[in-house]
Amino acid sequence: IAGVLTWATLLKVSHGHCLLCFSCLVTLVFVSPLPQFIYIIPKPSSFRLRSLTSNHISNLSMDLRLPSKVLEHILSFVDSNEDRNSVSLVCKSWFETERRTRKRVFVRNCYAVTPEAVARRFPETRSLTLKGKPHFADYNLVPDGWGGYAWPWIEAMAAKCPSLEELRLKRMVVTDECLEKIAASFKDFKVLVLTSCEGFSTDGLAAIAVACRNLRELELRECIVEDIGGDWLSYFPETLTSLVSLDFSCLDSEVKLSDLERLLSRSPNLKSLKLNRAVSLDALGSLLRLAPQLVELGTGSFSDKLDQEAVAKLSQAFSELKELKSLSGLWDVLPEYIPLLYSVCPGLTSLNLSYATVQMSDLVELITGCSNLQKLWVMDLIEDKGLEVVASSCKELRELRVFPSGAEGLNDTNVAMTEQGLVSVSEGCPNLESVLYFCVQFTNAAMVTIARNRPNLTCFRLCVMEPFAPDHKTQQPLDEGFKAIVERCKDLQRLSVSGLLTDKAFEYIGTHGKKLRMLSIAFAGDSDLMLHHLLSGCESLNKLEIRDCPFGDTALLENAAKLETMRSLWMSSCCVSFGACKLLSPKMPKLNVEVIDEHPLETRPDSSPVERIYIYRTLAGPRLDMPEFVWTIQKNPEIGVSHLAIK
Amino acid sequence: MENSNSYSPYSSSSVDSTKPSLSVNLSLSLTFPSTSSQRATSQDWPPIKPRLRDTLKSLRLRQRGYNTALFIKVYMEGVPIGRKLDLSTFSGYESLLENLSGMFDTSVICGNRDRKHHVLTYQDKDGDWMMVGDIPWDMFLETVRRLKITRPERC
């Protein structure tokens, strides 16, 4: 049923006629079955198409008889895929027109649908975004060889969508052959962004560099690349002048400075440059002089010893960066070089110090200068005192992430950072909406205060690193703290919990976390009840990932229907039995139930717990590229079928 | 699956708020990320991304004075001439094994005894010969004196 848009003019339309104003932004809403309305809304405006469910489509006895050219024109204003999905449900001809005009496709689980189906449905795709492995793959919980191969997608797109220009992949296995295929198949390829991907080498990068004549963006974010050498950069042809963004920060080997300098000289549109650690501080100076228009900069190593003249030159180069908004890199930054950055601080909206292992005292003046900062990523070396400075200086702060410097040795906690740091920031920064905070311990009182201060939080990820750590002042579980968070922060979409938690905490989350879409849990809870609360209570739950919790079959089987409304569920080191997995699978044909277990399952008793289970909804059925250690009910365990249908 | 911690939070009774503090077992599993209940390995806890983990590891090593190289002798059983290897260049067991497999042109593994593969062992500072892979990497670096790649049957 259509929502009421107060600024809209309602025009009733009789069958076969319609009045359209082409200079306006038009949105179309259908109310089933009759009457039919067209809303004309002056642009610009943000609007939401109220969607029909697929149930309505059968009731609609006639379409609006809009000529498809007209509809195409209207659809060219409809950007959001959510709206386009609604449009495609109206009737067959609208489905056809929409699918032929959709330019950007997002597939948030590469196994939810087949590449061929996507390529066939959207032949005019210009931009494809794909995600592969589950999120916990970032923390080594998904064994190598599990899947997430990009090849079948690239192959399908090369065959059916040759106008593809942009490819964004996250947590996928990308081989050199994939990169070569991209270079060879898409004539106007412009954007390649690989996040947390692996499987390729610098040779593959060379293939992209040499062939993509109109390349705009090449970004490798935290990828694991087989680094054969820095030559790949020299493969960018002299004719390439379109580069806007280059990020090779995850590579190890040195690129030739002269290649980089020449590239920068002929890239007047370059806005974002993220260097790798091997680029020296000395080199940075000359690079900055060639690209003073940069908006985003990731430096290389910040620790060479420079003479006074070089330092002065570098300082000058930084002060020339008038457009700079984002700064990262800063590996091994020596305290004496931090003042070099002062000139850019007032303009910064984003500062990533997560590799800068400097002490709090060195950071204070830097932070004080960043009055426009919206995003800050920093090590816990900043301590409570440093976070107080953040609270008083960075009033525009929206996102804070604090990483654990002592992570590689849990006993090493000489850092004076406690829950108080986060409390200060929650008090001082009115726009704070996203938090990722690693610390050794926490208290309920702190969380209650934070929730009271910041009911506008949308993302709260607290990682108390000591598993099962209670409130360190009261020794109570952290149930009450998380209760305050979910109760007060009504728009909370993402939550990670930790510390000592009982089933009560999950009861609270189930009761109050109505907008929660993603939830991460580790070492928590007492029993199955925990999962039951979550699955039955959290209406918007989309992704749930759990490790090392004592929960098992009952809640899973009881709430099986819920799983079809979610994108995915991950559980590792819990108490789900082999028998339950076998029961679950035939119940839910639209789910893939994958058991990921190193020990052979053929001889397992039904009661034995499985190591990991990954359940996701899919239209594509069981995948064909499962390795030996992934078991689904469709695979015959005796034969041990597994075929790797990938390159 | 063995529960190697003496403490179990999986009681079916109501919460005991005087639970003793837990010392997490940081034993390292190599062929497969550890999934035994309650074992947070140093590879997957706390949940930080690989690049950050590696950066912190090398920072840790530097703090402990491992700036200098750590050359140790490596012998393949049955071959009189050994090799020398700088352990400080490796980030962990995986890269060590890869390198050894390349150096000796055979598949070298640790942990599981196998008829097909060569198993890596080491001599610790007490002079005892041990299976490689049971302890966290940085602890290993502190205690290892020499390496031996054994033939499978001998183990």
Minimum-distance CB partner of A139 among B38, B44, B57:
B44
3-state secondary structure of A453: helix
Sign of CA dihedral A62, A63, A66, A67: negative
What's chain A's average pLDDT? 86
Asked if A527's CB is within 8 angstroms of B24's CB, the reply is: no
The answer, yes or no, to whether residue A106 has pLDDT greater than 80, is yes
Rounded Cα distance, A30 and A89, in Å: 11
Minimum-distance CB partner of A143 among B21, B32, B46:
B32
pLDDT reported for residue A403: 94
Q: How far is A170 from chain B (nearest CA, A)?
A: 14
- pLDDT tier for residue A639 given thresholds of 50, 70 and 90: very low
Lowest mean pLDDT among A93-107, A365-379, A574-588: A574-588
Minimum-distance CB partner of B56 among A405, A475, A574:
A405
Candidates B36, B45, B89, partner chain A, best to mutate (most A CBs within 10 A): B45
Beta pairing partners, A169: A130, A194
Domain presence at residue B33: no
Rounded Cα distance, A526 and A175, in Å: 43
Q: What CA–CA distances, in Å, run from A449 to A433, A481, A492, A497, A577? A: 15, 9, 16, 17, 40
What does the H/E/C string look like for A605-622?
A: CCCCECCEEEEEECCCCC
The answer, yes or no, to whether residue A436 has pLDDT greater than 60, is yes
Minimum-distance CB partner of B40 among A138, A467, A527:
A467
Q: Which residues of A touch B36 (CB under 8 A)?
A: 573
Residue span of the structural domain in which B142 resides: 73-150
The answer, yes or no, to whether residue A8 has pLDDT greater than 60, is no
Beta pairing partners, B148: B75, B121
Q: How far is B80 from chain A (nearest CA, A)?
A: 33
Cite the beta strand spans of A100-240 per DSSP E.
Answer: 104-107, 127-131, 166-170, 191-195, 198-201, 217-221, 224-226
Domain presence at residue B40: no
Q: How far is A306 from chain B (nearest CA, A)?
A: 21
Q: What is the pLDDT of residues A305-359, one digit of tens each?
A: 889 999 999 999 999 999 999 999 998 888 999 999 999 999 999 999 998 888 8
Minimum-distance CB partner of A612 among B19, B35, B53:
B35
Across the range A506-532, mean pLDDT stands at 93
The answer, yes or no, to whether residue A172 has pLDDT greater than 50, is yes
pLDDT reported for residue A30: 41
| C-alpha A185: how far from chain center | 27
Task: Please report the ipTM that was assigned to this predicted complex.
Answer: 0.82
Domain presence at residue B55: no
Asked if B32's CB is within 8 angstroms of A598's CB, the reply is: yes
A241, two tokens: 């002048």
Beta pairing partners, B124: B144
Which residues does A364 contact at the CB level (< 8 Å), separation at least 6?
A385, A386, A389
Q: Which residues of A touch B31 (CB under 8 A)?
A: 598
Asked if A139's CB is within 8 angstroms of B49's CB, the reply is: yes
3-state secondary structure of A562: helix
pLDDT reported for residue B112: 63
Minimum-distance CB partner of A407 among B19, B53, B138:
B53
Lowest mean pLDDT among A207-216, A326-335, A411-420, A560-569: A411-420
The answer, yes or no, to whether residue A408 has pLDDT greater than 80, is no
pLDDT reported for residue B137: 85
Asked if A222's CB is within 8 angstroms of B51's CB, the reply is: yes
Rounded Cα distance, A240 and A266, in Å: 8
pLDDT reported for residue B64: 64
- pLDDT tier for residue B65 given thresholds of 50, 70 and 90: low
3-state secondary structure of A122: coil
Rounded Cα distance, A536 and A534, in Å: 6
Minimum-distance CB partner of B33 among A141, A405, A407:
A141
pLDDT over 90 for what percent of chain B?
A: 5
The answer, yes or no, to whether residue A638 has pLDDT greater than 50, is no
pLDDT reported for residue A384: 94
Minimum-distance CB partner of A407 among B17, B22, B56:
B56
Across the range A569-589, mean pLDDT stands at 87
Domain presence at residue B86: yes
Q: Which residues of A touch B46 (CB under 8 A)?
A: 404, 407, 410, 438, 463, 465
Q: Which residues of B touch A250 (CB under 8 A)?
A: 51
Domain presence at residue B85: yes
Lowest mean pLDDT among A48-57, A399-408, B107-116: A48-57
Domain presence at residue B46: no
Q: Which residues of B touch A409 (CB under 8 A)?
A: 60, 138
3-state secondary structure of A337: helix
Minimum-distance CB partner of A408 among B12, B17, B60:
B60
Question: What phi, psi does B55 have (nearest 5°)?
Answer: -60, -45
Lowest mean pLDDT among A414-428, A495-509, A536-550, B101-115: B101-115
Beta pairing partners, B84: B73
Candidates B7, B12, B51, B135, partner chain A, best to mutate (most A CBs within 10 A): B51
Minimum-distance CB partner of A407 among B35, B38, B46:
B46
Does B43 reach chain A within 8 Å, measured CB to CB? yes
Lowest mean pLDDT among A88-97, A396-405, A566-575, B45-54: A88-97
Compute the C-alpha angle A41/A42/A45, nearest 5°. Answer: 85
Q: What CA–CA distances, in Å, run from B59 to A332, A463, B56, B85, B95? A: 9, 22, 5, 21, 18
Q: What is the pLDDT of residues A462-477, one digit of tens each?
A: 999 888 999 999 999 9
Asked if B47's CB is within 8 angstroms of A408's CB, the reply is: no
Q: Which residues of A touch B42 (CB under 8 A)?
A: 408
Closest residue on chain B to A521 (Cα): B47
Q: How far is B94 from chain A (nearest CA, A)?
A: 12
pLDDT reported for residue A146: 96
pLDDT reported for residue B18: 38
Compute the C-alpha angle A340/A342/A343, nearest 5°. Answer: 95
Query: Are the C-beta atoms of residues A211 and A232 closer than 8 Å to each other?
Result: no
pLDDT reported for residue A228: 87
Closest residue on chain B to A356 (Cα): B55
Q: What is the pLDDT of residues A244-261, one digit of tens each?
A: 999 999 998 899 999 999
Q: How far is A619 from chain B (nearest CA, A)?
A: 30
Q: What is the pLDDT of residues B71-89, one digit of tens each?
A: 888 998 888 888 888 887 8
Q: Which of residues A417 and A107 earns the better pLDDT score?
A: A107
Q: B108: domain CATH number?
A: 3.10.20.90
Closest residue on chain A to B3 (Cα): A573
Candidates A408, A436, A518, partner chain B, best to mutate (most B CBs within 10 A): A408
Which H/E stretch holds residue A398? none
Asked if B24's CB is within 8 angstroms of A141's CB, the reply is: no
Minimum-distance CB partner of B52 among A354, A500, A573:
A354
Rounded Cα distance, A357 and A301, in Å: 12
Does B38 reach chain A within 8 Å, measured CB to CB? yes
pLDDT over 70 for what percent of chain A?
A: 86
Minimum-distance CB partner of B38 among A548, A572, A612:
A548
Does B3 reach chain A within 8 Å, measured CB to CB? no
Asked if A410's CB is within 8 angstroms of B24's CB, the reply is: yes
Closest CA to A28 of A71, A68, A69, A79: A71
Across the range A400-416, mean pLDDT stands at 71
3-state secondary structure of A131: strand
Asked if A477's CB is within 8 angstroms of B17's CB, the reply is: yes
State in Å, rounded, how far the first CA of chain B is from the last one.
23
Beta pairing partners, A40: A9, A26
Asked if A475's CB is within 8 angstroms of B138's CB, the reply is: no
What does the H/E/C string look like for A564-616?
A: CCCCEEEEECCCCEHHHHHHHHHHCCCEEEEEECCCCCCCCCCCCECCEEEEE
Closest residue on chain A to B137 (Cα): A408
Domain presence at residue B111: yes
- pLDDT tier for residue A642 given thresholds of 50, 70 and 90: very low
* Preceding amide of A33 cis, omega within 30: yes
pLDDT reported for residue A607: 86
Sign of CA dihedral B93, B95, B96, B102: positive
Across the range A143-154, mean pLDDT stands at 96
Closest CA to A552 of A535, A533, A571, A568: A571
Asked if A609's CB is within 8 angstroms of B40's CB, the reply is: no
Number of domains in chain B: 1
Regarding beta strands A518-522 and A543-547, do their DSSP bridges make them parallel or antiparallel, or are they unpaired? Answer: parallel
Asked if A476's CB is within 8 angstroms of B43's CB, the reply is: no
Does B36 reach chain A within 8 Å, measured CB to CB? yes
- Chains A and B form CB pairs within 8 A to the count of 114
Across the range A440-455, mean pLDDT stands at 96
Does B56 reach chain A within 8 Å, measured CB to CB? yes
pLDDT reported for residue A435: 98
- The amino acid present at A77, given as its one-letter code, is F
Beta pairing partners, A245: A217, A272
Q: Which of residues B90 and A308 earns the better pLDDT score?
A: A308
DSSP A12-79: E--TT-----TTSEEEEE--SSS--EEEEEPSS----PPPPPHHHHTT--------HHHHHHHHTT--
Q: What is the dihedral of CA A310, A245, A363, A454, to 10 degrees?
A: 170
What does the H/E/C string look like for chain B?
A: CCCCCCCCCCCCCCCCCCCCCCCCCCCCCCCCCCCCCCCCCCCCCCCCCHHHHHHHHHHHHHHCCCCCCCEEEEEECCCCCCEEEEHHHCCCHHHHHHHHHHHHCCCEECCCCCCCCEEEEEEECCCCEEECCCCCHHHHHHHEEEEEEECHHHC
Buried b (16+ CB within 10 A) or exposed e, A417-449: bbbbbbbbbbbbbeebbbbbbbbbbbbbbbbbb
Domain presence at residue B84: yes
Rounded Cα distance, B97 and A355, in Å: 28
Question: What phi, psi does B100 have (nearest 5°)?
Answer: -65, -40
B90, two tokens: 């490796």
Does B39 reach chain A within 8 Å, measured CB to CB? yes
| C-alpha A479: how far from chain center | 28
Does B15 reach chain A within 8 Å, measured CB to CB? yes
Rg (CA), chain A: 27
Closest CA to A615 of A642, A588, A647, A577: A588
Q: Which residues of B touch A355 (CB under 8 A)?
A: 52, 55
- pLDDT tier for residue B30 given thresholds of 50, 70 and 90: very low
